[in-house]
Amino acid sequence: MTQDAIQDVDAIEFYFDKGVTDGLPVVPPTEERVQRMLAATSRAPDEVIALVPPNYGEATVEKIAVNAVMAGCKPAYLPVVLAGVQAMCDERVNLHGVQGTTHTATPLFIVNGPIRRELDINCGAGVFGSGWRANATIGRALRLIMVNIGGARPGEIDKSTMGHPGKYTYLIGEYEEVSPWEPLHVEQGFAREQSTISVYCCDAPQCISNHGSRTARGILQTIGASMAVGWSDKTYLADSYLVVIGPEHAKTIAADGLSKQDVKRFLYETVRRPLRELLPGPDGSEGLARERLPGWLDATRDETLVPKVASPEGIIVVVAGGTAGRFSLHMCGWGSGAGASRLVTVPISKE
């Protein structure tokens, strides 16, 4: 249908009828709006950035621009959306598995580098909440691409039993300016002045409150206790786990001399349970099978302590949130073994 024809009907209802929304009204992608969006990049409109699973639809620059318009993005946001598509379609993310799982997991996008300030991407107070156009619309554009190009419509391909609000939009910036540690993208091998976007498939944020402790150990014990039951109280040896530490907690932890690697090591060593508590129950409840434990654990001893995460490197630490309030968050990753979703970081190009 031509744009003139669309204008003869209610445009909002037209796109609802077409099934190309996320359940909220979209901005009609008129030719003029799409062209303004495309002007933000020198890449050819027909260039294929990625194939979006599970349908492996071609995410051309133009199709990405159309979805960015529908999401309410400014043209300046397009380079971030393009990089986000590239990141989420990396095979290591296993978007195919995530798009069709019955689990709640969905891709979370984390932006680092100077572009956070240039685009006013929220890294501070209410970082996972409403109020910032860049966070809301860039994340929403990436979700629309997963649905409209990838084909993962809820209740059809997307079989998530519960879902979570991140399936509307799930994008934050890391608050590098108040973090006592190196930011995520520097850990991943990028220069601090390089802008990047990372993707990590995970649950909804789970709040951790500790207003009393004034030591790293006290705060990390609270974080660890919350992580211990993430996803399931018997889900141990997870491939990855994301901890978003609030600035006040991060300041206290760093003041005790702990590096980011120290935080990961502490949580890896501390968040453990005896094997006997993790074995399948007599009622058939799920758990860890002795024969499937890795060789570095003694599966013959019921008292063997099993870590929540398979290695310290699997714990991802990011600093974000408001500078007032002693809160942090944790999110369990998705999958295990060869099919687990991995963290992927790619540079954002303004070309």
Which tokens sit at 214?
């004034």
pLDDT of residue 282: 78
Angstrom distance (rounded) from CA 344 to CA 151: 22
Residue with tokens 């609030």: 246
Confidence of residue 345 (pLDDT cuts 50, 70, 90): very high
Angstrom distance (rounded) from CA 144 to CA 167: 10
Residues 291 and 167 occupy one common structural domain: no
Which pairing describes strands 272-274 and 171-173: parallel, antiparallel, or unpaired? Answer: unpaired
Residues 40 and 169 occupy one common structural domain: yes
Q: Reply yes or no on whether the pLDDT at 310 is more than 60.
A: yes
Residues 181 and 222 occupy one common structural domain: no
- Provide CB contacts within 8 A for 326, sequence distance 6+: 209, 210, 211, 219, 246, 248, 249
In a 3-state reduction of DSSP, which class is residue 329?
strand
How many CB atoms neighbour CB 269 within 10 A?
Answer: 12
CA distances from 320 to 10, 247, 260, 327 (A): 41, 6, 14, 10
Residue 262 belongs to what domain range?
205-332
Give pLDDT tens digits for 14-62. 999 999 999 999 999 999 999 999 999 999 999 999 999 999 999 999 9
Query: How many alpha carbons lie under 13 Å from residue 87 in its C-beta half-sphere?
Result: 26
Give pLDDT tens digits for 75-96. 999 999 999 999 999 999 999 9
Kindly state the percentage of the chain with pLDDT values over 70. 97
Angle at 278 between CA 275 and CA 281, to 5 degrees: 125
CA distances from 138 to 24, 70, 165 (A): 15, 11, 15
Residues 149 and 3 occupy one common structural domain: yes
**Overall pTM > 0.85:** yes
Residues 158 and 275 occupy one common structural domain: no
Residues 19 and 39 occupy one common structural domain: yes
**DSSP bridge partners of 154:** 158
Which pairing describes strands 171-173 and 106-112: parallel, antiparallel, or unpaired? Answer: parallel
How many domains does the chain divide into? Answer: 2
Residues 290 and 258 occupy one common structural domain: yes
Residues 26 and 147 occupy one common structural domain: yes
In a 3-state reduction of DSSP, which class is residue 198?
strand
What is the Rg, in whole angstroms, of the alpha carbon atoms belonging to the chain?
Answer: 21
Helices (H), the chain: 3-7, 11-18, 31-38, 61-71, 78-88, 95-100, 115-118, 133-148, 184-187, 216-227, 247-255, 260-270
Q: Reply yes or no on whether the pLDDT at 8 is more than 70.
A: no
pLDDT of residue 292: 86
Angstrom distance (rounded) from CA 332 to CA 229: 10
Give which of 95, 292, 276, 279 is closest to 201, Cα–Cα: 95
Q: Reply yes or no on whether the pLDDT at 6 is more than 90.
A: no
Residues 194 and 212 occupy one common structural domain: no
Helix axes 61-71, 31-38, angle to 10 degrees: 110
Residues 133 and 251 occupy one common structural domain: no
Residues 168 and 224 occupy one common structural domain: no
Confidence of residue 4 (pLDDT cuts 50, 70, 90): low
Residues 263 and 119 occupy one common structural domain: no
